[in-house]
Amino acid sequence: MKKLFIPVILGTSRPGRQSEKVANLIVKTSKEIPNIVTSLIDPLDFHFPYDGNDSENKDPRYTEITDKADGFIIVTPEYNHSFPGTLKRMLDSELKNYIHKPVAIAGVSNGIFGGARAIENLLPTLREMGMIASFSDLYFPEVQNLFDENGNILDTSYVRRIKRTLDELTWLATTLNWGKENIPNIYHKIEK
Ligand SMILES: Cc1cc2nc3c(=O)[nH]c(=O)nc-3n(C[C@H](O)[C@H](O)[C@H](O)COP(=O)(O)O)c2cc1C
């Protein structure tokens, strides 16, 4: 079976960001799944100087990654009950590369809600971009207590939940890829 490319998008550039630990855990867990290829998309490694999707705000490496991706995992902290502007600017830089690709969201907060409000506010944006959201979300509440000093997760039930989400995401990606290859649709060209 074809390997699926599922990059993990880290949604914040904040110095000291806790969400980076969550993103690293998801990347590490994804690498244990044989049919997934992944990489960390860190906004600090890319350049999105302006708003919008004109060429001035495109980073060619992000364009290539989103073009090739079979699906996405987005790690978003909750900032003022929503998701960070950095994530929005990064997502906005592309238009067609998300259409009919599955996405799962991991919310992160230092309070008890695990980024639930950021996830809820991100969903309409992702839908407008054409992404298909997974049924299962991932929540990382009180993130400051979840990892040891080496970045290892203390409660392994989080790894089990990540694997369950990856299982759903790979099913969605495989199903959507099959549909794109076999069922005519105005958004996809079938190449035979
Ligand atoms: C600008 C800003 C706004 C925040 N707003 C919220 C919020 O609305 N709800 C919440 O639970 N945590 C909020 N937090 C705290 C984050 O949950 C906390 O920083 C957590 O560690 C995840 O974000 P990080 O990856 O930036 O560390 C906020 C943090 C910042 C920097």
CB within 8 Å of 157: residues ≥ 6 apart: none
Measure CA of the first residue to CA of the last residue in the chain; give whole Å.
18
Q: Does residue 17's CB lie within 6 angstroms of at least one atom of ligand 1? A: yes
Q: How remote is the CA of residue 16 from the centroid of ligand 1, in Å?
A: 11
Q: Does residue 79's CB lie within 6 angstroms of at least one atom of ligand 1? A: yes
| Spatial separation of the C-alpha atoms in residues 142 and 180, rounded to whole Å | 40
**Residue ranges of domains in the chain:** 4-182
pTM of the model: 0.97
Q: Does residue 12's CB lie within 6 angstroms of at least one atom of ligand 1? A: yes
| Total number of residues shown for the chain | 192
4-182 fold? Rossmann fold (3.40.50)
Tens of pLDDT along the chain (192 residues) come to: 789 999 999 999 999 999 999 999 999 999 999 999 999 999 999 999 999 999 999 999 999 999 999 999 999 999 999 999 999 999 999 999 999 999 999 999 999 999 999 999 999 999 999 999 999 999 999 999 999 999 999 999 999 999 999 999 999 999 999 999 999 888 887 766
Secondary structure letter of residue 60 according to DSSP: H
Q: Are 91 and 51 in contact (CB under 8 A)?
A: no
